[in-house]
Structure 1
Amino acid sequence: MTADTPHRTGHVPVVPASAISGTPVTATVAPRRRGRIKGLDGPRGIACIAVLTVHVAAHYSPDTTVDSKIGILGQALIFFFGLSGFLLFLPFVRALFLGAPKQPDVRQFVIHRLLRIFPVYIVIFLIANFALQAAYLTNAEKSLVIGSQAGTGMITDPWTFVANLFLVQTYFPSLIQTGVNPSWSLTLEYAFYFALPIVGALMFALRRRMRWNPVVIGLIPPILFVIIGIAGKVFAYYLAHRAGITDIAEQNFGANWSAVVLRSFLGGSDAFAFGMAAAVLFVAVEVGPEGSRLGTRLRRWSVAGLVVSTVAMLALLALKSNFQVTATGLAAGLFILIIVLPLAEGRRSRMADILDFAPFEYLGKISLGIYLWHFPLLIALGRWGLLAGDSVGGMLGNLAIVGVLSVACAAVTYRFVEEPGLKYARKLRIK
């Protein structure tokens, strides 16, 4: 999904105990570490390939997919949201712990987010629609036929085209799951981007008025996001029940209001929440006077919590409950914590070293392109008769073909679209 990499954060401050206790920081603080947070690009790349695997396998090898149980890999998508929650909330939390008078620059945040996603999305959408003619013309859940290109082609309806161009198609039942199939998640990402400066302003207003511990203030937004996400799921269930929709896939992706709610921030905010909570705990260890002892306790709790949340996720998946997103989001946040907590203490993270294996790291860097390219490519390649049928060998061959082409196309769009946009955003930040 999105390849958010705002974790090249420059100076990481050491904050005196006064900042933890609620007293504003007035002394000059010394830099502690600089550079990106290791261990997060690799998992992003692995998660992206997991999503690609599920889509390709389910579309052309449905029986093999069921028999092999690889559909579980689709949960990797929630990890992207958790990672966005961690990385994008992190600058807000650091500023809060430092006693800064206000949140990070909102204008720079907006510019960076727009340049991060929109240029490459627009390029891939236009190619998928006009060159490959592999966009969904109507709701994919309604028109999709496994192993075929049913429902795809070139969008000519002006309203459908404009809605997809600006990533608002997910807010309309008649347009949900049109265009580039996985792009609904970018609509949810943008809702999160819109929400962050709002909760940032609220956090810093609380800091000025209440003088609460920054850990408490920092945890308020993720708790609110969990409440909103749970309430949204309950509301979506009500809408589905009222409309007589019992199929879980139709509830989530069909042309109905239940799917609109579940694919929107109202139903999906909890996917970001636990990554945000992980950012608060990371900074508490990073800057707190008892960082090492707190980090040790958090790692133990995180490992135990990861086991429990994974079991809960599997149980909720078996029950076909939409609340599996909450359990998966919790597991993602805990997994992120396990990776990065040693780094917060200024120590080496062996897991981060393993996960940032160079090929994985590169896949993570270009993951947004892989995520957007793979579905139009699997449609086009099937139309051209280049993909095999439902067998283990056919599935593996399909994965190799779609995977290699998706990575190649993503490498090109990263080099000529994403990278220039990121460089321009950094240049504006410096100015």
Structure 2
Amino acid sequence: MSTATTAPAVTLAKETPLPAEPVPSPRTNKPARARAVELQGFRGLAALSTVVFHVWQQYYTYDAAGAHPPVDNPYLGAVISLEVIDLFFVMSAYLLTLSYARAAIDGPAAGGSGVRSGRDFLFRRAIRILPLYFLAVLVVWSSRNPTLPGDWRDLVGHLTFTHVFDRDRIFYTLGPTWSLSLEVAFYLALVAIGPLAIRACRRLATRRARVALCLSGCAALFAVPVLWISYAHYVMEVPYTDWPVYFGPQARFGGFAAGMALAVLLVALGERGRVDARVATPLSLAALGGLLALSYTADPENVPHTYYHPLAALLWFVLLFATLHLRERDGRRVRWHGLLRARWVTGVGLISYSLYIWHEPVMLELDKWGLLPRGQLGFAAGTLIVVAVAAAAGTVSYWLIEYPAGLLGKARDARGARREFYPDSDGVRRSA
């Protein structure tokens, strides 16, 4: 998990959820706002799925009973092993790219939304993730390094989000937070690429040309990781256990690219081409079936395993499209959306970032104190214990740390610090 003796096994783990992203305001994207509850539900289910898998991994890899699945059922294993990191990458990129997509494609004259300055955008992202993250890193690292200087490189790597490039320490301290390093890299990429895309689109006379340019850019960003993975695996024959090669942004940016493309596509379509329940349901089931088939067939070094994440990103793209581009009158007619809107599911979605941060330390402490039942029959009880304790810790963490930190962003906006702008062709930022 997060220590030197257990780090390698984390690579088997389901990828972990990322911080909840703010939903678009009604003014900027009414259709997406209508589906915001479903997105929160996706986040909640994925967060729970992640916790369950890490418990499965704990029993699978470290239980004295032996290294075999807690439940010898390959179909159940495929469900539990279903990757969710790409879902979080796609959702995050979709929500954060919407304003850039509207500004690039439609601009202010056609009702395109304003875009935060890079400084304001990064400030809001920083207060969203850093207070809880830094606190957790310091607490967990200190508990595992009681004498100074300890593994100071591990601490520095986590505090600077560079541990994803450290083959030995990528999964130390807070093992799941390697994925947060990629999220931070995406924030920096977006504030650089977004304004450039807006300026480039302003030079194009037709809306169709602007849409084509944006989608082409997203396709290129998606292709880069695919080419990198192909080169690393088939040409250089780099083993999958060389974690930075396959876990770094150069290999995992495809999920963000798919989310950016989803934002561009939905802005481009607007109210056109919305799917009804008769189309959304089979489309969603086909995407879920594809994800489960991908999880079931992926074995180390085979093609589904090698290209798992680009393929998963495309399937999550399809599932989210069927959810977000649904006709408004059919919003309550897709039966499985009732699960996404369930209060307990959206409640877990609300605390998903805190759950993401704390569930692994909670699980390891419970195991250390002998509070997780052993053996195959203990997996179900152990899962319930970890979920209950981690959810309680996540709830407390949300209200004591996340929520107060979020108020800083609202206070900044209330003081007029937020500026919406559109870069004109001369590159000057002008307030909306």
Class of the TM-score when normalised by the shorter of the 2 chains: 0.7 to 0.9
Match among 169, 179, 187 for residue 193 of structure 1: 187
Amino acid at match of 1:67: D
Match among 22, 32, 45 for residue 6 of structure 1: 22
Which residue of structure 2 aligns with residue 27 of structure 1?
A: none
C-alpha contact 1:366 1:411 (8 A) present in aligned 2? yes
Counterpart Cα distance in 2 of 1:240 and 1:60: 34
Which residue of structure 1 aligns with residue 291 of structure 2?
A: 310
1:63 aligns with 2:47: no
Which residue of structure 1 aligns with residue 224 of structure 2?
A: 228
**CA shift digits 1:137-181 (9 cap, x unpaired):** 8xxxxxxxxxxxxxx999812222111122211112233222211
Counterpart Cα distance in 2 of 1:95 and 1:153: 52
Which residue of structure 2 aligns with residue 280 of structure 1?
A: 264
Quote the offset at 1:199 in angstroms.
Answer: 2.1
Quote the offset at 1:301 in angstroms.
Answer: 9.2
SS at match of 1:342: coil
CA separation of 1:357 and 1:303: change in aligned 2, threshold 3 A: closer
C-alpha contact 2:59 2:70 (8 A) present in aligned 1? no
Map 1:281-360 → 2, pairs under 5 A: 281-285=265-269, 287-288=270-271, 291=272, 293=273, 295=275, 299=280, 302-303=283-284, 306=287, 309-310=290-291, 313-314=294-295, 317-318=298-299, 319=302, 321-342=305-326, 348-351=331-334, 352-360=337-345
Amino acid at match of 1:97: I
C-alpha contact 2:103 2:198 (8 A) present in aligned 1? no
SS at match of 2:68: helix
Which residue of structure 2 aligns with residue 18 of structure 1?
A: none
Percent identity over paired residues: 24
Counterpart Cα distance in 2 of 1:94 and 1:231: 29
1:94 aligns with 2:94: no
CA separation of 1:99 and 1:53: change in aligned 2, threshold 3 A: same
**CA shift digits 1:54-85 (9 cap, x unpaired):** 11112124533461334433412221112112
SS at match of 2:305: coil
Amino acid at match of 1:126: L
**CA shift digits 1:114-137 (9 cap, x unpaired):** 111111111222222234x3xxx8
Quote the offset at 1:366 in angstroms.
Answer: 0.6
Larger mean CA deviation between 155-164 and 49-58 belongs to: 155-164
SS at match of 1:60: helix
For structure 1, the residue ranges without an aligned partner over 5 or more in a row are 14-30, 138-151, 246-250
Count of equivalent residues: 378
Counterpart Cα distance in 1 of 2:68 and 2:158: 32
Structure 2 length as normaliser, TM-score? Answer: 0.78
CA separation of 1:32 and 1:303: change in aligned 2, threshold 3 A: closer
Counterpart Cα distance in 1 of 2:264 and 2:148: 45
Quote the offset at 1:95 in angstroms.
Answer: 2.4
Quote the offset at 1:312 in angstroms.
Answer: 6.5
Counterpart Cα distance in 2 of 1:306 and 1:33: 20
Which residue of structure 2 aligns with residue 386 of structure 1?
A: 371
Quote the offset at 1:347 in angstroms.
Answer: 5.6
C-alpha contact 2:24 2:95 (8 A) present in aligned 1? no
Counterpart Cα distance in 2 of 1:415 and 1:169: 28
C-alpha contact 1:203 1:218 (8 A) present in aligned 2? yes
Amino acid at match of 1:224: A
Amino acid at match of 1:220: S
Counterpart Cα distance in 2 of 1:424 and 1:417: 12
Map 1:126-137 → 2, pairs under 5 A: 126-131=138-143, 133=144
CA separation of 1:303 and 1:57: change in aligned 2, threshold 3 A: closer
Which residue of structure 1 aligns with residue 159 of structure 2?
A: 165
CA separation of 1:221 and 1:347: change in aligned 2, threshold 3 A: farther
Amino acid at match of 1:82: V
C-alpha contact 1:63 1:390 (8 A) present in aligned 2? no
Counterpart Cα distance in 2 of 1:155 and 1:188: 27
CA separation of 1:325 and 1:277: change in aligned 2, threshold 3 A: same
CA separation of 1:158 and 1:32: change in aligned 2, threshold 3 A: closer
Q: CA RMSD in A?
A: 3.0
Which residue of structure 1 aligns with residue 394 of structure 2?
A: 410
Counterpart Cα distance in 2 of 1:34 and 1:309: 27
SS at match of 1:418: helix
For structure 2, the residue ranges without an aligned partner over 5 or more in a row are 1-16, 61-66, 417-432
Quote the offset at 1:34 in angstroms.
Answer: 6.1
Counterpart Cα distance in 2 of 1:35 and 1:130: 44
C-alpha contact 1:51 1:77 (8 A) present in aligned 2? no
C-alpha contact 1:122 1:165 (8 A) present in aligned 2? yes
**CA shift digits 1:302-334 (9 cap, x unpaired):** 558626843762476143622011111111111
**CA shift digits 1:184-234 (9 cap, x unpaired):** 010111111111122212311221223352422331332122111112212
CA separation of 1:130 and 1:239: change in aligned 2, threshold 3 A: farther
Quote the offset at 1:353 in angstroms.
Answer: 4.4
Larger mean CA deviation between 220-229 and 179-188 belongs to: 220-229
Amino acid at match of 1:160: D
1:175 aligns with 2:172: no
C-alpha contact 2:167 2:244 (8 A) present in aligned 1? yes
Structure 1 length as normaliser, TM-score? Answer: 0.78
C-alpha contact 1:316 1:324 (8 A) present in aligned 2? no
**CA shift digits 1:26-45 (9 cap, x unpaired):** xxxxx889677231111111
Counterpart Cα distance in 1 of 2:357 and 2:108: 38
Larger mean CA deviation between 57-66 and 156-165 belongs to: 57-66
Which residue of structure 2 aligns with residue 396 of structure 1?
A: 380
Quote the offset at 1:284 in angstroms.
Answer: 2.8
Which residue of structure 2 aligns with residue 141 of structure 1?
A: none
